[in-house]
């Protein structure tokens, strides 16, 4: 009678981990692309975020106080930058994540110029 051997628990765990990682890498970028959006118009910045619970925010240019960028070491490796638009809102800043460096630089420049040209005191 042949003897059946079961895979070691570590091998089984590694296999499950690899399968879950492959599923995550194939699904999440497409899902993120479908649900996360942003647009900078002359009058406002529009964002839509959230995986299951969607949040839409509209920030009038007159409310913009600062526009900041942040780039950690991993994001730097892939040439990505996060842009944070701080407003006078109690809801806090609006974050646009994982933008290409050139897109982020243009966005920051555009928002800075628009906020400077818009009358008001951002309150």
Q: What is the pLDDT of residues 61-116, one digit of tens each?
A: 999 999 999 999 999 999 999 999 998 888 889 999 989 999 999 999 999 999 88
Residue 4: pLDDT band with limits 50, 70, 90: low
Which CATH number fits the domain 37-117, given the four candidates 2.30.29.30, 3.40.1190.20, 3.40.50.1100, 1.10.10.10?
Answer: 2.30.29.30
**Global pTM?**
0.74
Q: What is the pLDDT of residues 30-47, one digit of tens each?
A: 887 788 899 999 999 999
b or e along 63-91 (b: 16 or more beta carbons within 10 Å of the residue's beta carbon)? bbeebeeebeeebeeeebbbbbbbbeeee
pLDDT of residue 46: 96
Contacts for 40 with CB less than 8 Å, ≥ 6 apart: 46, 107, 110, 111, 114
pLDDT of residue 84: 96
The strand pairing partners of 37, in sequence order, are: 48
What phi and psi, each to the nearest 5 degrees, are found at residue 53? -100, 110
d(CA 66, CA 13): 47
């Amino acid at each position: 009678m042949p003897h059946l051997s079961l895979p070691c628990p570590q091998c089984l765990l590694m296999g499950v981990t690899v399968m879950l990682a492959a599923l995550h890498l194939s699904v999440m970028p497409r899902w993120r692309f479908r649900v996360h959006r942003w647009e900078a118009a002359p009058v406002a910045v529009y964002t839509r975020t959230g995986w299951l619970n969607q949040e839409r925010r509209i920030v009038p240019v007159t409310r913009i106080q600062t526009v900041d960028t942040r780039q950690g070491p991993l994001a730097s490796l892939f040439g990505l930058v996060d842009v944070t638009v701080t407003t006078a809102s109690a809801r806090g800043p609006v974050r646009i994540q994982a933008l290409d460096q050139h897109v982020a630089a243009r966005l920051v420049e555009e928002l800075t110029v628009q906020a400077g040209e818009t009358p008001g005191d951002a309150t």
